[in-house]
Structure 1
Amino acid sequence: MDWPQIRFLGQLPEQGHVLLDCSHDPWLTLLAYLVATAGSLAALTIVEHLDRVQRRGMRLAWGAIGGLCLAGGIWSMHFLGMLAFRAPLVIHYEPAPTLLSLLVALAAALLALYCMAQRDAGLGRRLLAAVIIGLGIAAMHYSGMAAMRSAAQSFYHGGLFALSILIAIGASLAAQLLAHLRRNREARQRHWLKYSAALVMGAAITAMHFTAMAALRLVVAPGEILELQGAGNSLQLGLGVAGVTLLIVALSLLAAWADRKLDDKERDLQRVNHLLAQLDQAKASLEQVAHFDPLTELLNRRGFTRVFAATLEEHAVTGRALAVMFLDLDHFKRINDTLGHAAGDELLRILAQRIRGALRERDLIARFGGDEFCVVVSLDSSAEPRTLAQRLADQLKEPVELNGRRIVMTTSIGISLYPRDGGNTEELLRHADLALYQSKGSGRNVVHFFNPHLKQKASLELQLEEDLRQALQDDGGLALFYQPIIDLRSGSLSKLEALVRWHHPQHGLLTPERFIAIAEANGFIDLLDDWVLRRACEDLRILSERGYARLKVAVNCSALNLANDQLPGRIAQALQSSRCPAHSLELEVTESALLSNVNRAIGLLEDIRALGASLSIDDFGTGYSSLAYLRRLPLDTLKIDRSFIHDLATSDQDREIVHAIIAMAHALHLQVVAEGVESAEQLDFLQERGCDQVQGYLFSKPLPLDEVVALFPPHHRPLERVGMRF
């Protein structure tokens, strides 16, 4: 086989003739361009598909298919371009160089596809790749041209030869840049860029071929007989080659489209699996949040109820007993108030670990919020609940080092037992809570078991709460009784202490001790105090109209209301609406209520005093009596608690205490009232010691207003009735 060399026009023989009447078939030329464009489109589509393929083996397979499509497009374009060439002599092609040109085209196409698939290649690397690919395409073309066999010799125009190589390099660089540019655009823009890039690449490849053909010059020896090359079956052959090439390209595109759809489905499935995994993870997180306490990592109320229900079902089958324990830390609020909530949280974590450490692995423990915990334990003996409760209490009493201080906490515990105290979760929890309430009411730091009496008491208090709310709403059933307060100097009626009573339809007449605590615990003590205040002011106006112009009425104020900034305004409103003079009203506050917040109480009392009302401290001596705060309070009257009066006749100690209180009050310029006076001996002692006023059953028990008026008419001197001098 003869491998001719590439010769340029400067090497023309002296006796040769240059053939100038060569041409190209326009239809085959157009068909060549379409084939080049189709191959480019297939290559770009497969490059786009490679971005989605993750497996290395599939990437290599699709890279090979893309290379074959591009090589087939380039080589078929070259073959069609050669078939379109018309020269006045017979031309045929040798198989070996033709096959070599196909292999060169395949190598160049594979390299081009590899370069286009790179994401992070710089411009320098792309330019080098473009030079190599362009030279490969040029080598394919000129090796294919070398396969031509005819009576003429082939020579090339140097400038056009170089231009064809530059076009091949430029086409390679453009293909890489267009492939890279498409990755950074939206889907619709990528779609149009792909088709535009295929048209540009097809035009560049075709332009390279026909530029190289334009550089070709055929020279024949003198005397050579020339004859016009017939079209023959060139068109049919070209159409066949183009058809086969386009079919291969179309099948490749179809395969790429089908594989892309499969990849999309696989990615969708992966995304769905990923979303399902995320959903499971989110569900587990929500389960953790929904059923566990984030601070102590114990079960919360919701999670505990679910687990407890399953535990109870198991014990119902086996017939085994269990205990439900409510634990409430005593005075935990003081930790938050003094050391801060962060220290309180740390203390809760430490105590939760101690509770967990005192239990068995199978026992349940939960934090219900705040400082309240619940424990459920299976029982092996009847003595086990008390033993375990004592062990828990002892564990919690161990000192805790917190912020440089040693903290000792106690706990109140309430216990209900299954099946004795209930057969379901709700009953057992409610009964354990009632037992806990009993423990806290018994002084705290104790253990109480549930008994039916607690349930009856709770049920009764709930009913009383509902009835009391209704009584306040309807203004029915409540009444004011008054107990006289007698002035020991004048012997006349000085004041009336207003005491609320409740005519309950089932339980009869109830005293304040029976329902005041219910109103305080359930948040409507302010409504009850307002009712008493309004009714007392209205009765004061009635008394004034009946001749008791100088009489005062003393009204008790709840400890909770004493912390309410709106109290002075409510008193002013009650006085205004009843047209009652403010100096006729005296507000009684207990010593313990004042001590809860002395600084705040002073401000409120000064505002009330500014209205013109008098102020009295009730039950003096039962709290932490202190001159330090007593002298700061804007008071008018001090009332000695009845507990000191009861044994005056027999107790020297009580007599000394009462005498000291009277002397101290007078030193502070306060009036003194002694409560609970029931005998003449008590009255004699108080009068001798200079007590200002007295009240008690010696004169009258609390009575409705009409009975008080009937018993103590205006200008009546009650001391005369008991035979006392005044």
Structure 2
Amino acid sequence: MSHRTIRYNLLSVSILATLFFIINNMAAHLASPTRYTIDKTAAVYSAYAYRIDTTNNLTLDQFINEPQALIKQPFSTINWQLNTQDYWLQIKLDNKQHTDIDIFVHFDNPMLDSLTVYQLDDSGKLLKTFKLGDKEQDLSLFEYSVPHITATLAKQTSSQFVIKIATVGISKTPINIYGKNEFKDLLRSQTAIWGIFVGVLVMAALYNLVLFFGIRDRVYLIYIGYIVSALLLMGSVLGFGFYIWPLSWQLFLNQHVIFSNYAIAFFTVAFCTMFLRYHKDNCYLYKLSIAFLSLLLLLAILSFFMLEYHSSKIFFTMMVPLYLLCIAMIYKKLKSGFRWAKFYVMSWIPLIIGAAVQPLELTGFIPYSFATRHLFLVAILCEIVLMAMALADRVRYQREKALYHATHTQQTNLLNQAKLKQAYMSLTNTQRQTNLCLVKIGQFNSLMSILNPTQSSKIVITIAKALESHLAKQRQFINLELGLDTSPKVADLGGGIIAFISTKLQPITTLYDELATIVNLLPKQYQVSGLDLQLHYTISATEPVNQDGFDVWLQRGYLNLSHKHKPNGTQQPSVAMNLTLAAALQNAIRQDKLAIYLQPIINLKTGQATGAEALLRWPSADHNLNIEQLIQLAESTGIINELTLWVIDKACQNIALLNQAGFDQHTISVNLSAKNLSIHKLTEKIENTILKYSISAQQLKFELTEFALIKQPSEMTHFVNELNRLGSKVVLDDFGTGYSSLNYLVNYSFSTIKVDKSFIRDLTHNDTNQVIVKTAIDMAHNLGMNITIEGIEEQTTESLLIEMGADQAQGYFYSKAIPFEQYRHWLTSHSQ
């Protein structure tokens, strides 16, 4: 453990000790005032008696004139019940002192409907009548929240108080008689606890409201609901609700206090469900939870129309299945490894203790005291603090999980491009040498056509582990991440490409030789499903040039892979061969020996072809070059602009011919690269070509990839806006293969996005890709864009995309890219 960690741990322990010291001091000053009643602080003797009136017809005269019916026992022996019966209590006080004494009689139940106190002299003559309770009008907030009366005991005389309690709710009413100073101590202690409770809960609610606005997680709203319901319940039970709600509201809440009980029960179950993420599972416990919440809500509404003593019995019965349900949900998650929920489990301990003590105190199994009276309040306070810690722990876990997903690929769990970029930035900031090394599994895309995603991911993992073991022996290859268990040096860039960084100062040719030696040690075969796959690799090494930054550095590494650096150190094609091919390509452009093939884009709602993508071909070439190599050749030799203008001209010509054939709404899409921005007055030349063939600008679309956008973002923004003003639509191609697509959707005015075919492969069996594609569709529609899906090769995929709401589709299922004449015949035959 580091010295810094030890210092922080010591600091946290010191803070905790300070907090305990503060709490202990406050508790000492809030010593239970119920121990200092008048008979313990003055020469006053008391006698108690009571009578329970089940008929509710007893009068004061009958109570006085029938002493034989009284039970002369302490009030602690009264059998308080949830029933419609009146309680008549008698307190006789004998002041033996030689001075008058002011007394305060405190009735510790602010939920009583009606409480009448008759003060009599020693001969039984009525001196004064006091009226308290929720149904009394014109009482002060103090009398509502702390029901009490004040009286004076004359010296050397006796007095008696007859108390009538009539309520349909909780009838138990602890009665204590205090002197003036002791009553002040009671109020001080009670107010301090109320203030702490309300203050902590309000601050917790406000803080979690801020968190909700920042995180947008519904669990914070449920947590706030629990806090508010706790304020409702304890405000009624203890009386401080009269100070936080309007008087009419609190009187209403006191009359329907069971609703507050249901509210706190409802939010308890809801928080348990949401916090443990059962809404993500949709299992039987989640469905049971929803059903139970619906039942609680129904019973809460019915409680408004029932007498309190009936609804309270139903509520206490419901507590048994509530605890069982919550325990089952917690146990299942803990069993499955939800260790981050430890604080939430701990929060149930004070709740269970407090919830048990309160009914035991109300029913007389536990003696009444100031501590037991407020224990449930303290339990809720502790629970809410622990719940807040649980939420913080949950956020920490989610942040760590999100960080892991942000820096690791989902399929292989290897470090991804983000971690590679972080290492690059760290090295460049310290001005260290950074050579990007790439190893690509040969023909990986072809392998993916015969393997499922899991199998292809296992190949990458196997190669990455083998490469990692060889790189670990050489210090020039840096660790991309430092962990307790592993220190990986490689990152998975997708597509069978594995990246790592060398920091050794050496000629690039020497680095290629070293990479070739390492790659020659990698597996040459991989067995899957009884098939021995032959593996070969391509390598690339790249140095940063002119502070181009990570994106260009990485793109240069991808480009170098196309040079086919093989493990034996040979490189093909050579520079001379590139120049020869470039000359032949330029000649083919000028002699119109190239061609564009059209691949239809299908409207999934109508089934008709509404457009096509123009794909470059070189039919007469005797070179085995694919389209990617052809474009890379044009870009690297500077003839890409000439080639692009030729493609635009040919596309407009084909649009004009389609218009003559009656397809005047048909569009053709042309691909553009960042290099094309160097074409002088490109937008003007596009407009002139459109006018040359007398076509609509809306029929000509342009497709841009993310790399084209990151190369020259400001110029590309201006260019896209110019195309939009011209009337041509701009399509974001290969959406999802980059790392910042969302920024481009906001900053550029695209009409359509095209989802890369890598997400469509095995779509019907890949739940993850289904979520990604569906999200992209919904996002595009919400942003007012259309969406085109590439790579459709089968009916089931098309049906799934139609169900998801995709707009257009493109792929071999409809047609491969074909020459114009064939395409026109295809279009005619498929439009009938």
- With the shorter chain as reference, the TM-score category is 0.3 to 0.5
Normalised TM-score (structure 1): 0.39
Which structure's CA Rg is the greater one? 1
Normalised TM-score (structure 2): 0.34
- Which of structures 1 and 2 has the larger relative contact order (alpha carbons within 8 angstroms, sep 6+)? 1
